[in-house]
């Protein structure tokens, strides 16, 4: 009997987690569309990361909608600014890749561009976790994110591996992205970022 009770509790716990992930992803999709995608994507993503952070710090009883909407509204302008700076950098790197491939053909330049592209992806992965954890001036978010990437290489590599695994998983099971994609991605990246923040803060405290 105890075994069945334990199994029931485990199934209930997993089901509860899945429901919360799906609900959070639904909020992300709805508020991204409400912001006409172009202005809703980054605030909605910040809201998802804020909820993921609350889950790690305060447990599963976090008020999902309240946390999400507070971050969405209060950071709307700032996170859009940060997001479009990253879009600009990404577009610049992509343009450089095209020019290098079509007109330059230098292996050294290709390697440098690849290095900066990986660094760009890591900064992008950490940007939202840094944004929802720290209260900084606009450009200091980029500095803090860059420093975290350099200070915690193990977690940074872990993020790249997570992204690659998630990419293939979501290709094999696209229904996962439709049902809870943003929540799954945010939770995994936030978990690794949270570990990085904790280790860095512990080192500073000592």
Torsion angle defined by CA atoms of residues 164, 113, 186 and 14, in that order, rounded to the nearest 10 degrees:
10
The pLDDT value recorded for residue 4 is 58
DSSP string, 3-15: HHHHHHHHHHHHH
What tokens appear for 20 in the block?
């919360």
Q: Pick from 2-16, 108-122, 133-147 the range whose average pLDDT is largest.
A: 133-147
Quick one: CA dihedral 139, 140, 145, 147, positive or negative? positive
Which residues, other chains included, contact 152 with Cβ-Cβ below 8 Å and sequence gap of 6+? 195, 196, 199, 200
The pLDDT value recorded for residue 2 is 57
Rg (CA), the chain: 19
Q: What is the pLDDT of residues 10-36, one digit of tens each?
A: 676 787 888 999 999 999 999 999 999
Domain locations along the chain:
2-205
Which residues, other chains included, contact 65 with Cβ-Cβ below 8 Å and sequence gap of 6+? 27
Predicted confidence band of residue 7 (pLDDT cuts 50, 70, 90): low
C-alpha 27/C-alpha 72 separation (Å) is: 11
Burial track 130-141 (b if 16+ CB lie within 10 A, e otherwise): bbbbeeeeeeeb
Nearest to 22 by CA among 187, 150, 178: 178
Q: What is the pLDDT of residues 67-108, one digit of tens each?
A: 999 999 999 999 999 999 999 999 999 998 888 777 776 788
How buried is residue 199: exposed, middle or buried, by Cβ count under 10 Å (0-12/13-18/19+)? middle
Write down the mean pLDDT value for the chain.
Answer: 89
C-alpha 165/C-alpha 121 separation (Å) is: 15
C-alpha 79/C-alpha 162 separation (Å) is: 24
What tokens appear for 185 in the block?
């991605």
Q: What is the pLDDT of residues 140-158, one digit of tens each?
A: 999 999 999 999 998 899 8
């Amino acid at each position: 009997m105890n075994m069945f009770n334990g199994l029931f509790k485990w199934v209930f716990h997993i089901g509860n987690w899945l429901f919360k992930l799906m609900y959070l992803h639904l909020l992300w999709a709805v508020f991204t569309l409400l912001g006409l995608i172009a202005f809703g994507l980054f605030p909605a993503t910040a809201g998802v990361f804020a909820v993921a952070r609350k889950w790690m710090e305060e447990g599963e009883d976090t008020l999902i909608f309240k946390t999400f909407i507070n971050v969405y509204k209060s950071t709307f302008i700032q996170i859009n600014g940060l997001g479009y700076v990253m879009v600009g950098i990404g577009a610049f790197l992509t343009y450089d890749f095209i020019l290098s491939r079509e007109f330059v053909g230098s292996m050294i330049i290709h390697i440098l561009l690849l290095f900066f592209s990986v660094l760009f992806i890591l900064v992008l992965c950490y940007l939202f976790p840094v944004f929802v954890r720290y209260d900084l001036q606009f450009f200091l978010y980029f500095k803090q994110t860059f420093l975290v990437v350099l200070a915690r290489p193990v977690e940074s590599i872990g993020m790249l591996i997570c992204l690659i695994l998630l990419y293939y998983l979501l290709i094999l099971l696209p229904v996962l992205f439709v049902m809870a994609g943003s929540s799954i991605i945010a939770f995994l990246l936030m978990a690794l970022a949270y570990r990085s923040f904790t280790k860095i803060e512990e080192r500073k405290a000592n």
